[in-house]
Structure 1
Amino acid sequence: MPRHAPLTAAILLALPLFAQADERADRHQHEDARVLDAVEVTASPLRNAIDDLTRPVDVLRGEELDARKAGNLGETLERQTGVQSSFFGAGVGRPIIRGQDGARVQVLSSGTGSLDVSTVSVDHAVTIEPFLAEQIEVLKGPATLLYGSGAIGGAVNVVDGRVPTRRVGRDVAGRAEVRHGSAADENTAMFRLDADAGPWTFHADGFRREASDVRIPGFAYSPELVAEEIEEGVSPDELAQGRLPNSSLSTLGGAVGATWFGERSWLGASVSTYRTDYGIPPGAHAHEEEGEDHGGGEEEEEEVVRLDMLQDRLDVRGGIRGIGPLQELNYRVTRSQYEHTEFEGEEVGTVFENRGTEARLEAVQNEINGWRGAFGLQYGDRDFSAIGDEAFVPPSVSRDLGVFVVQERDFGDVKLELGARHDRVSIDPAGDLPTVDQNATSLAVGALWRFSENMHLSANLDRAQRAPSAEELFSDGPHIATQSYEIGDAGLDTETALSGELGLHVHAGRFEGKVSVYQSRFDDFIYLADTGLELDELPVRAWVQGDATFTGWEAEGQVDLVENATGLWTLRVFADAVDAELDAGGKLPRIAPSRVGTDLSWTRGNWRARVGAIRVADQDDVAALESATDGYTLFDAGLTYHWDVGGAGWEAFVEGRNLGDEEARAHTSYLKDVAPLAGRNIAVGVRVDF
């Protein structure tokens, strides 16, 4: 536990006592503090309220989501307990949940996979735009029951409403926002329109973002690398500082959709596109070519690498209510065509393509002897290929078919949840490589005990399995993003995790808090291990298996401190820590250090404001051959003014992040030694809802 943990624990224990001591707290403030309890979690087929779930779920929406939105999903969610960002430059940030990322964390767009290739390599972006989200749901711990073996570490569901699932309730509703950020001279604009017309509801949205190279507090290279360069005769003036080279980006996209609503059924569809062009910071993607130095000799000169990515997507959704023993039957089908080209200077380096299809059928049953539940089928098909210098994974066709069931029942003050899922995963690579067929079976039991009016205790036990991905099975070549020559193993077995979690949720008067402890024990955990060998001047790393254990805790508390003539003052305190190590000895790489943070928010009339800070500890308990990172503290603040004009609500805002302009290097990132996080960023903008 970090040195801040005792203080955090003391605060969290004291706050409910403080809240209970003030019996004069009025009822409407209690309801304000628990607004998330009424939020429907759409990632669950039963669409329970967040306070009725035994599973740990966070929902980011409304004013809080507006304050946290960023250019990628990882950065948007990184102030949620247990969630960090992979960070691979300004254009890439995939969520990491409780120390697990990549092929273990499923990223969803309104319940179906993103169908990109962000799990193939850490420099590949997720094709989901956070600024268009209605709400973002984070499922912590194994989510394999609902979304298959790719969610053994959790799932993130971005609800965008592109296929309307309910009527607007008026002729036209919409939202628009424009903002400018100082750190990268970034300009972002988005709009959304929804309209009812007879039995139809229509949707349209669009966004665009343009950003220059990101400002950073000092050198792009870490102090250790700067010292090495100077020792080799490089002048400090020749090293990148002040801005992170080749970190500019341009992103745009949009969608149109429509849904027909009948008396007992509905059917909708949307078509969408996502296009982005972003750079990879030098040193992160080091293809090299020969050039001439000033003395007429020859030296190695690094290529500038940019990714030009596009995805076109079709989503179809529908449902029927009241079919015999079924309360409702819902279905989703998604078809995606994805391609991105990696340019090395003016030349095409590698082209990645992915043709993906995902179909899902969910049946929600009528209550049977007190049991409520759902069951369903899910099918996925991925036709992947990579051609070029970084084609370290052969073309392959992956198919998986899963069947699942979830059930719940109340026994007095105790709610019991049961679930099971079985997947059949097949990966057929091109050439003479063997087809790999594997099974993955997951079982779960959870309980929610409401032992008092103000508290409930949750307990979850999962046995989850994950089939290895094509990258882990068949890699054989230089993977420049990870600066290694990767070798897969077609003989890898299914990995199995036995996970347990205990959680306590308190909501008393003006206070709400939760704390949880968890552990996951993996048999045959798949990871990338250093071999000590070199090939093509790159270290050779092999995909191998070994038993591993992830252990961690999370705590969060929020209290309305006071409401008087000065306004409503609310304090939030949060902290988390995770440890991951191999049972045979040694740490796993890129595990996030412990964190503790606080936010103080204020509301009075038309004004809202907040100030906050997060302290990230040193991470010196590292894997073999992995460098340590120093801790850092980031300060942020925001001020918003709201006014109404007719039926429209307008807001002008200013937001500041990393106000101390501190050099911060994310330990979870492959770029920690060559690319720090952005320096001070002041964003100003206007948004309107109507």
Structure 2
Amino acid sequence: MIRKSALLLASVVIPSHALAQEAPQQPSSAEVEVSGDREEPANDDFHGAIYVTASGVDRLDVVAGTSVLSGMALQRESSGQVGDILANLPGVEASGFSPGASRPILRGFGGDRVRVLIDGIGTIDASGASDDHAVAVDPLIAERIEVLRGPAVLLYGSQAIGGAVNVITKRIPPGVPDEAFHADLLGGVDSATGLWEGGISLDTKVTDNIVFHVDGSYRNTDDIEIPGFAASDDLRADLLADAAEEEEEGELEEAEEFRDAANISGIVPNTYTETWSAGTGIAFFSGESNFGVSFDYYDTEYGVPGAPGVGHHHHGEEEHGEEDHDHDDEHGEEEGEEAVSIGLRRYRADFRANIDLGDGFFDSVQSRVGFSDYTHTEFEGAEVGTVFEVKGVEGRVELAQSRRGGWGGATGLQFSAQDFVATGAEAYIPPNNVESIALFTLQEFYFGPFELEAGARYENTEIEASTLGIQRDFDTVSASLGGGYTLFDDFRAGLNVSRTERAPTAAELFAEGPHIATQQFEIGNPALDIERSWGAEGYVRGEIGEVKVNASVYRNWFDDFIYLAGTGEEEDELPVFAFLQQDADQWGAEAQVTFPLIEGRDFSLLGDVRGAYTRVELDDGTNAPRVPPLSLYGALEGRWEHFDLRGEVEWYDSQTDVAPFETRTDGFTMVNASLGWHPFEGRENLTIIAQVDNIFDAEGRRHTSFTKDFVPMTGRNFKLTARASF
């Protein structure tokens, strides 16, 4: 299947290459920077332009509500996983399985309902199949990270009901720089994780139309420090009760093990990480056309934290628990068992070809293809346990329309193929092949103060599990319509409506066995139907004087919502969870308001307030699992010519609206502070940030995490980072 896919995509890209040498340059769809009527970006959190990567569309931020993290904000939120980096944006949370594995969650949806992209092409890994699988993206080489919502998401996949996250890099150079040589460097250390990280990116203008790029990074952390006990109050009470019961029965050794597990404090064992990456790329520019290619390698090893109560060891530390119930089942509970870790390596190649078509109806053809060879190996000590392998290709070709008055847009084709193989004792998903092809369009219309955006996508998905003799074929059609009206200046109000269809994933269809990340025996359902939903979102967005507002309320009505639910049964001493379908409702709201408090010649003080809330309720009256609670965020930032002083308060409510077999999560408050120094004129050549996160060493647990009851968030953390550009 991969071979057939490669031939199909090559037939599209190779002609583009030939044309690229004769036609003028058009920037890649992954690198077009669009700010509409907004100001140029500044290196802070309050004055950045909105960047949008969808080709053929000039102002997607107007209707889609794109959020962007770049500059100082990206430096301050720097982390090893993209989910943790974005967690403070409105409506965004992190899965937080461990420091080595954390996916973004948008409006309560995670997994394959959120597409994670690298320059507009999927990551082509196994991170969506399980929360203990890292996202194969190195944030250290990111120029910026975008969160896409609304009609524009249909450009990237009908699976992305929650939205899409696009990590923008320069691995294929986006254009010819003014300077002959450019370098970006980033380094950082911290106290609570023992962080040492560094990254470098170099761009060289070989000739007037050839640009060469190379980058590399390294990141290492130890087991994380925490303010109190690793186990939550409820879990700790259960462990101590088990210890008392064992003691009464005369099992003194077992009682001591339970008691030791309950009293683990100060660190979370087996939460270390080590990651490095390297990449290179080259691009050729001719007029308004260009062609480029890049290659990169990503390698990470990280510990899989174990639930307290079962003896695993990490670097000689005391017993700290089972990796989870799945590891409990497959690896056993014998004393002295080795710790579980994951080693991941990924080779990737990307190709880009953009062709200028002149002044006709279509002004350019923009194509992008990515190939990936991904291997994820679970180790118990030095022994290989389960190996997950993914080989895949994804490509897209877009025809960008010339703008005609108030009308513009893009129409395209997207194709992907992925071969998945899992071998070993915990291969709970059988080998499978997934192939899809899609046609999509996104159109914009402007009529004075009124803006209209319409998107549609047809997608055919074929999923085959040959060892089971099962093949499913799904045809999905999704459409969305968004309208906005400029009330005054740059302040708009509008409404988005959508009808989406999502095909089940291979894991939802074919899972059968103990699942490491979720600590449960998972059973898929090969008879699952397409998940369908109607959605509506109302928003206000823009500026009222110097105050910037971005707020929305939304609701989605699902038919045949696919979810994982407990059955009340057990298999091999594990609770059985099955993929089921029933109708569901989701509703919520999110908002961000930034405003100046003091504006002087030498000093300014700005405020930033954010909040988000979402609920997902099933038709039988129960709640969907791992839905984040109400969260509020407030910040004040003082700015001088060379300094920025920022204070933040993050507040999370307790989550008591829980699913069957799910535990409640206590609320918490964290206070952070940072001081940024820009020693040179322009504020961009060098930025040094000293920060303290979680100043009061509060205990916090993410309700979205499978491991929340034994992996709390990091305690007080002193961090120093430096970013240089020259």
TM-score calculated relative to the size of structure 2: 0.87
Q: Which of 190-199 and 27-36 deviates more?
A: 27-36
Write the letter of the residue equivalent to 2:409.
G
Q: Which of 252-261 and 226-235 deviates more?
A: 226-235
Q: Distance in 1 between matches of 2:443 and 2:340?
A: 50
Deviation at 1:197, TM superposition (A): 2.2
Equivalence for 1:22: none
Q: Deviations over 1:631-674 (max 9, x none)?
A: 00011111121123999822322111111111111100000111
Q: Distance in 2 between matches of 1:30 and 1:383?
A: 41
Deviation at 1:498, TM superposition (A): 0.7
Deviation at 1:226, TM superposition (A): 1.5
Query: Is the contact between residue 554 and residue 577 of structure 1 (CA under 8 Å) also seen in structure 2?
Result: yes
Summarize the alignment of residues 532-681 of structure 1 with structure 2, pairs less than 5 Å apart: 532-564=568-600, 567-644=603-680, 649-681=685-717
Aligned residues: 657
Equivalence for 1:225: 235
Query: Is the contact between residue 37 and residue 50 of structure 1 (CA under 8 Å) also seen in structure 2?
Result: no
Equivalence for 1:4: none
Summarize the alignment of residues 136-535 of structure 1 with structure 2, pairs less than 5 Å apart: 136-141=145-150, 144-198=153-207, 199-233=209-243, 234=255, 236-237=259-260, 239-283=263-307, 284-286=323-325, 287-288=327-328, 303-323=338-358, 324-368=360-404, 370-535=406-571
Equivalence for 2:132: 123
Deviation at 1:143, TM superposition (A): 5.4
Query: Is the contact between residue 311 and residue 336 of structure 1 (CA under 8 Å) also seen in structure 2?
Result: yes
Query: Is the contact between residue 289 and residue 303 of structure 1 (CA under 8 Å) also seen in structure 2?
Result: no
Q: Distance in 2 between matches of 1:159 and 1:438?
A: 31
Deviation at 1:352, TM superposition (A): 0.3
Query: Is the contact between residue 290 and residue 301 of structure 1 (CA under 8 Å) also seen in structure 2?
Result: no
Q: Distance in 2 between matches of 1:101 and 1:156?
A: 11
Cα 1:301–1:433 shift into 2, 3 Å = farther
Q: Distance in 2 between matches of 1:150 and 1:194?
A: 35
Query: Is the contact between residue 476 and residue 486 of structure 1 (CA under 8 Å) also seen in structure 2?
Result: yes
Write the letter of the residue equivalent to 1:317.
R
Task: Name structure 1 gaps, 5 residues minimum.
Answer: 1-26, 293-297
Q: Distance in 1 between matches of 2:357 and 2:428?
A: 50
Cα 1:646–1:325 shift into 2, 3 Å = closer
Cα 1:405–1:182 shift into 2, 3 Å = same
3-state SS of paired residue (1:115): coil
Q: Which of 455-464 and 559-568 deviates more?
A: 559-568
Q: Distance in 2 between matches of 1:36 and 1:92?
A: 31
Q: Deviations over 1:318-376 (max 9, x none)?
A: 10112543111100011000001100123211000000100100111123574211100
Please identify which structure carries the higher strand content: 1
Q: Distance in 2 between matches of 1:157 and 1:485?
A: 33
Q: Distance in 2 between matches of 1:31 and 1:280?
A: 39
Q: Which of 89-98 and 138-147 deviates more?
A: 138-147
Query: Is the contact between residue 41 and residue 49 of structure 2 (CA under 8 Å) also seen in structure 1?
Result: no
Write the letter of the residue equivalent to 1:191.
I
Deviation at 1:194, TM superposition (A): 1.2
Report the identity percentage. 38
TM-score calculated relative to the size of structure 1: 0.91
Cα 1:31–1:509 shift into 2, 3 Å = farther
Deviation at 1:72, TM superposition (A): 1.0
Q: Which of 560-569 and 392-401 deviates more?
A: 560-569
3-state SS of paired residue (2:85): helix
Query: Is the contact between residue 143 and residue 154 of structure 1 (CA under 8 Å) also seen in structure 2?
Result: no
3-state SS of paired residue (2:84): helix
Q: Distance in 2 between matches of 1:28 and 1:139?
A: 20
Cα 1:221–1:149 shift into 2, 3 Å = same
Equivalence for 2:85: 76
3-state SS of paired residue (1:471): helix
Q: Distance in 1 between matches of 2:637 and 2:683?
A: 27
3-state SS of paired residue (1:231): helix
Q: Distance in 2 between matches of 1:646 and 1:554?
A: 34
Query: Is the contact between residue 36 and residue 50 of structure 1 (CA under 8 Å) also seen in structure 2?
Result: no
Query: Is the contact between residue 125 and residue 136 of structure 2 (CA under 8 Å) also seen in structure 1?
Result: yes
Q: Distance in 1 between matches of 2:561 and 2:111?
A: 14
Query: Is the contact between residue 253 and residue 274 of structure 1 (CA under 8 Å) also seen in structure 2?
Result: yes
Task: Name structure 2 gaps, 5 residues minimum.
Answer: 1-37, 244-254, 308-322
Deviation at 1:509, TM superposition (A): 2.3
Q: Distance in 2 between matches of 1:31 and 1:202?
A: 27
Query: Is the contact between residue 329 and residue 574 of structure 2 (CA under 8 Å) also seen in structure 1?
Result: no
Q: Deviations over 1:597-624 (max 9, x none)?
A: 1011111121111110110001011111
| 1:110 counterpart (106, 111, 119) | 119
Q: Distance in 1 between matches of 2:83 and 2:529?
A: 30
Q: Distance in 2 between matches of 1:311 and 1:601?
A: 40
Write the letter of the residue equivalent to 1:472.
E
Q: Distance in 2 between matches of 1:565 and 1:117?
A: 52
Deviation at 1:39, TM superposition (A): 3.4
Write the letter of the residue equivalent to 1:353.
E
Q: Distance in 1 between matches of 2:45 and 2:329?
A: 58
Deviation at 1:506, TM superposition (A): 3.8
3-state SS of paired residue (2:470): coil
Q: Distance in 2 between matches of 1:62 and 1:501?
A: 29
Cα 1:326–1:646 shift into 2, 3 Å = closer
Q: Which of 511-520 and 144-153 deviates more?
A: 144-153
Q: Distance in 2 between matches of 1:35 and 1:586?
A: 40
Write the letter of the residue equivalent to 1:397.
N
Write the letter of the residue equivalent to 1:163.
I
Query: Is the contact between residue 519 and residue 574 of structure 2 (CA under 8 Å) also seen in structure 1?
Result: yes
Q: Distance in 2 between matches of 1:542 and 1:523?
A: 18
| 1:40 counterpart (30, 51, 57) | 51
Cα 1:264–1:139 shift into 2, 3 Å = closer
Query: Is the contact between residue 285 and residue 305 of structure 1 (CA under 8 Å) also seen in structure 2?
Result: no
Cα 1:227–1:507 shift into 2, 3 Å = same
Deviation at 1:264, TM superposition (A): 3.4
3-state SS of paired residue (1:131): helix
Deviation at 1:37, TM superposition (A): 6.9
Q: Deviations over 1:419-440 (max 9, x none)?
A: 2110000011122331100011
Q: Distance in 2 between matches of 1:405 and 1:429?
A: 31
| 2:98 counterpart (78, 89, 93) | 89
Write the letter of the residue equivalent to 1:322.
L
Query: Is the contact between residue 30 and residue 510 of structure 1 (CA under 8 Å) also seen in structure 2?
Result: no
When the two chains are superposed, the root-mean-square deviation of aligned CA atoms in Å is 2.3
Cα 1:145–1:686 shift into 2, 3 Å = closer
Q: Deviations over 1:277-322 (max 9, x none)?
A: 0001111434249999xxxxx9666541100000000000110112
Q: Which of 601-610 and 242-251 deviates more?
A: 601-610
3-state SS of paired residue (2:660): coil
Query: Is the contact between residue 142 and residue 151 of structure 1 (CA under 8 Å) also seen in structure 2?
Result: no
